[in-house]
Structure 1
Amino acid sequence: MQLHHHPFCPHSRFVRLLLAEYGLEPELVEERVWERRPGLLALNPAGDTPVIVEAQAPSVPGAAIIAEYLDETRGLALAERRLLPEDPLGRVEVRRLTSWFHEKMFVECTEPLVRERIYKRYMSREQGGGPPDATALRMARANLRYHLKYIGWLSKARNWLAGERFSQADLAAAAHLSVADYLGDVPWDEDENARDWYARVKSRPTFRQLLAESIPGMPPSKTYADLDF
């Protein structure tokens, strides 16, 4: 299996966490989506990451599609560790929250943070590179506070975000928070419940590889790899 990804694409991080929970170790192929590499476009005409490629099978593009594919092909083998509940209503809640983080939180927070502070460092002027947009960053950080409160509210009312069991929803939220946390943009002191929940998630062995990664010339925040905050 190959995973075409970017180390700080939150959707790619979600899939990497999923694969680790399934006990799968793919070959990682780093992509810079702004370069519109023909090989990536052949696998996914949308030109986005992540994309999974397995031998003698069509490519599987997109975080949500990959999550469903992995559940359908490997989920039953996990038994009680399956990342989707057995009951239909439980699966609805997991999918609702996973979609919330991958779509709403991504658009409002993590996409502008990653684009302005990471991607633009490597993009040419023609590709949209240049100094960070201060207005975009200010809005993303304000929106992040809103999403952090929602995560805190969910984690206070439930054992995990979607219910009693650890699920894809926890991995989705943690993947997006992890990139913001690397940049030092998460106000952890504003919500103790969200902070405690995230500490539980990032203490899982499947998180270790992500926490070991860094960007040359841009070290992570002090809280990034600190399991005890």
Structure 2
Amino acid sequence: MSARRSNAPAKQNLMYLHHHPFCPHSRFVRLLLAEYGLEPELVEERVWERRPGFLALNPAGETPVIVEEQCASVPGAGIIAEYLDETRGLALADHRLLPESPGERVEVRRLTAWFHEKMYVESTEPLVRERIHKRYMTRQQGGGPPDATALRMARTNLRYHLKYIGWLAKARKWLAGERLSQADLAAAAHLSVADYLGDVPWDEDEHARDWYARIKSRPTFRALLNESIPGMPPSKTYADLDF
């Protein structure tokens, strides 16, 4: 994982993304930016360290946060998604990640919130916290060995969310409808961290697996598939496009 850090303000026409490589919300924003053709300067944040410079950008102390010339601080995955749509969405034309129709927008936002809030709390956050973050946290910060009970519950909940994704993928071309949207990127971002850890039971839902294979094969996904954790190699399925 990158150890790059900076307290410097954003340079003219340069975007900074304060993130953590295995924060699913950060991964969602990285996928969004890639779909928009934007390449931000990445600044890794270990949020448990509560770095003063980062807290000045987002007092909530959570990743991701975007900083660029026209907006000094855009915190949170949902706010960033709306900000990018408002400032760059029209340029994508028919490939815009938030539909024009109000009803279709509601469905995209509903599903995006489902993955960022419900799936995150019930599954991906405890998986990342217990298996990744605790490796780097001190005892005072909450580090230590993984909590077996928390991991067991997270894996059980992940099966439930995988089935829901499979149900959506079976009924629709993409999760929220006929076009790729923010909802697909949100679900894929959360599944990607669980897949790195080898916790996704892909053999339990072929529709979810086939949908994820399609989105994982997009060029915009390549940077995520190159991420790795020292001493913790990815699962066999993580970078395999034909898993």
Normalization by structure 1: what TM-score?
A: 0.99
Counterpart amino acid of residue 143 in structure 1: N
Equivalent-residue separation in structure 1 for 2:208 and 2:220 (angstroms): 19
- Asked whether 1:217 is paired with 2:231, we answer yes
Equivalent-residue separation in structure 2 for 1:210 and 1:221 (angstroms): 14
Equivalent-residue separation in structure 2 for 1:96 and 1:58 (angstroms): 28
Equivalent-residue separation in structure 2 for 1:101 and 1:124 (angstroms): 29
Structure 2 counterpart of 1:7: 21
Structure 2 counterpart of 1:141: 155
Structure 2 counterpart of 1:163: 177
Q: CA deviation at 1:67?
A: 0.0
- Structure 2: give runs of 5+ residues left out of the alignment: 1-14
Equivalent-residue separation in structure 1 for 2:61 and 2:173 (angstroms): 37
Post-superposition Cα deviations, 1:87-107, rounded to whole Å, max 9, x if no partner, equal 000000000000000000000
Partner secondary structure for residue 118 of structure 1:
helix
Structure 1 counterpart of 2:33: 19
Percent of aligned pairs with the same amino acid: 89
Structure 2 counterpart of 1:47: 61
Counterpart amino acid of residue 164 in structure 1: E
Structure 1 counterpart of 2:214: 200
Partner secondary structure for residue 53 of structure 1:
strand
Equivalent-residue separation in structure 2 for 1:195 and 1:56 (angstroms): 40
Counterpart amino acid of residue 105 in structure 1: M
Partner secondary structure for residue 29 of structure 1:
strand
- Asked whether 1:110 is paired with 2:96, we answer no
Equivalent-residue separation in structure 2 for 1:69 and 1:84 (angstroms): 12
- Asked whether 1:130 is paired with 2:123, we answer no
Partner secondary structure for residue 39 of structure 1:
helix
Counterpart amino acid of residue 88 in structure 1: P
Q: CA deviation at 1:55?
A: 1.6
Q: CA deviation at 1:158?
A: 0.1
Structure 1 counterpart of 2:203: 189
Counterpart amino acid of residue 187 in structure 2: A
Post-superposition Cα deviations, 1:45-90, rounded to whole Å, max 9, x if no partner, equal 0000000000252300000000000000000110001001110000
Partner secondary structure for residue 52 of structure 1:
strand
Counterpart amino acid of residue 53 in structure 2: G
- Asked whether 1:82 is paired with 2:86, we answer no
Equivalent-residue separation in structure 2 for 1:68 and 1:212 (angstroms): 27
Farther off after superposition, 52-61 or 37-46? 52-61
Equivalent-residue separation in structure 1 for 2:220 and 2:70 (angstroms): 28
Structure 1 counterpart of 2:3: none
Equivalent-residue separation in structure 1 for 2:174 and 2:70 (angstroms): 37
Counterpart amino acid of residue 151 in structure 2: L
Equivalent-residue separation in structure 1 for 2:72 and 2:19 (angstroms): 17
Equivalent-residue separation in structure 1 for 2:86 and 2:71 (angstroms): 15
Partner secondary structure for residue 234 of structure 2:
coil
Structure 1 counterpart of 2:50: 36
Partner secondary structure for residue 152 of structure 1:
helix
